[in-house]
């Protein structure tokens, strides 16, 4: 159950643990979440297990999440330097101030200074663009982030919740201008959310961005605690009663079968699937209680077989639209009836056949 099998994040030399501790639940300011004391216990246990990657944001629990981390770790420079602390900008904590959030230079610089103060540190290891700001040119955002890197206040930058074409534009621009480029991509990814495999996952692979999935249990739907028997009777952490679709319950049923076969939990199976998807570096696990952390870390011990992966893929494989839905035809158009990289593709009837001569 150790977290000390480190991996490099994307095309960088930054070593992170295979699971990342998500700190969105640190603080009870939003009416739900972990107390300061339990948040500290979760941090300590995660670090004791070898975890070194902690993810938060300036907007989580009104900034309290960052402060909890800073108050607990900031007083110990040696401990802080051994950790990879990631936080995000974009959230506006100041109603009435149009420059209090977003991705403009004024907002980014101010948000960085405020996060440094709350985290009680001189630098942020990984600074995420939390979500795309359509009102700010991406070159302005990148230039501001590069200035922060050059000033030593930020070590690496990443991007979250942004279209693939915009991320690609940003990184190609950064490469040509000699600016710091995004090394990580934070996206929602789970057995119930695979639409990212159409554009975002291939883009990350092509450009060398390490994927850090969030909500790998789809907000608790794949935790195993919600069943047909308690449908509509159990509350989620944020207070709403939970009722899942029949499709989701059918998937949970299959996860329960695999969980019994591997002597583990439904959540561990779902996490193990995400963690072993192509391009995934470190999966973000949230934990409102210490027991949840202990349970989720056990996913690292699960060894799914090729048949297990194939079965889950069959159950949840998404159907993509144009142009991905045409991809199966391209081999027949391109290969001339040969096998290329193990892909066999027959010649299409309307393509020139063997023995025919071109016009």
Residue 94 annotated as catalytic? no
Rounded distance, CA 315 to CA 225, Å?
20
Give exposure, 117-135, as e/b (b: 16+ Cβ within 10 Å): ebbbbebbbbbbbbbbbee
The DSSP element (H or E) to which 194 belongs, if any, is none
Phi, psi of 104 (to 5 degrees): -75, 160
Q: State both tokens at 280.
A: 């995934």
Phi, psi of 8 (to 5 degrees): -85, 140
Exactly one of 6, 60, 127, 226 is catalytic; name it.
Answer: 60
Q: Tell me the angle at which helices 306-316 and 246-261 cross, rounded to the nearest 10 degrees.
A: 170
Rounded distance, CA 271 to CA 3, Å?
14
DSSP per-residue codes, 89-104: E----STT-TTSSSSS
Selection from 35, 34, 59, 320 nearest residue 199 by Cα:
320
Selection from 108, 136, 137 nearest residue 124 by Cα:
108
Cis peptide before 223 (omega within 30 of 0): no
Rounded distance, CA 80 to CA 70, Å?
9
Neighbours of 242 (CB within 10 A): 16
Selection from 136, 140, 176, 184 nearest residue 160 by Cα:
184
Can you tell me whether residue 86 is helix, strand or coil? strand
Residues forming the active site: 60
């Amino acid at each position: 159950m150790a977290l000390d099998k480190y991996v490099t994040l994307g095309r960088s030399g930054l070593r992170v643990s295979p699971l990342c501790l998500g700190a969105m639940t640190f603080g009870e300011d939003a009416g739900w979440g972990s107390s300061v004391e339990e948040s500290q216990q979760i941090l300590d246990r995660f670090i004791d297990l070898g975890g070194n990657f902690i993810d938060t944001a300036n907007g989580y629990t009104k900034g309290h999440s960052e402060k909890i981390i800073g108050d607990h770790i900031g007083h110990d420079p040696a401990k802080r330097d051994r950790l990879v602390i990631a936080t995000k900008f974009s959230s506006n904590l100041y109603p009435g101030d149009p420059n209090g959030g977003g991705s403009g230079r004024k907002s980014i610089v101010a948000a960085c200074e405020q996060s440094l103060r709350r985290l009680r540190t001189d630098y942020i290891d990984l600074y995420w663009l939390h979500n795309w700001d359509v009102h700010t040119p991406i070159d302005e955002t990148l230039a501001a982030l590069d200035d922060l890197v050059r000033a030593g206040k930020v070590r690496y930058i990443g991007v979250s919740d942004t279209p693939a074409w915009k991320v690609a534009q940003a990184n190609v621009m950064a490469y040509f201008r000699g600016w710091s480029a995004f090394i990580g991509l934070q996206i929602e990814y789970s057995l119930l959310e695979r639409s990212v495999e159409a554009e975002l996952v291939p883009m990350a692979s092509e450009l060398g961005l390490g994927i850090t999935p969030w909500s790998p249990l789809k907000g608790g739907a794949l935790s195993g605690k919600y069943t047909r028997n308690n449908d509509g009777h159990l509350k989620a952490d944020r207070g709403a009663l939970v009722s899942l679709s029949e499709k989701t319950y059918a998937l949970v049923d299959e996860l329960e079968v695999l969980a019994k076969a591997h002597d583990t939990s439904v959540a561990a199976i779902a996490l193990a699937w995400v963690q072993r998807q192509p391009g995934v570096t470190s999966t973000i696990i949230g934990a409102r209680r210490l027991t949840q952390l202990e349970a989720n870390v056990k996913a690292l011990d699960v060894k799914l077989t090729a048949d297990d992966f194939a079965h889950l893929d069959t159950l949840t494989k998404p159907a993509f639209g144009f142009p991905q839905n045409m991809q199966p035809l391209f081999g027949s158009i391109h290969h001339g009836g040969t096998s290329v990289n193990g892909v066999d593709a027959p010649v299409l009837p309307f393509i020139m056949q063997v023995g025919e001569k071109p016009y």
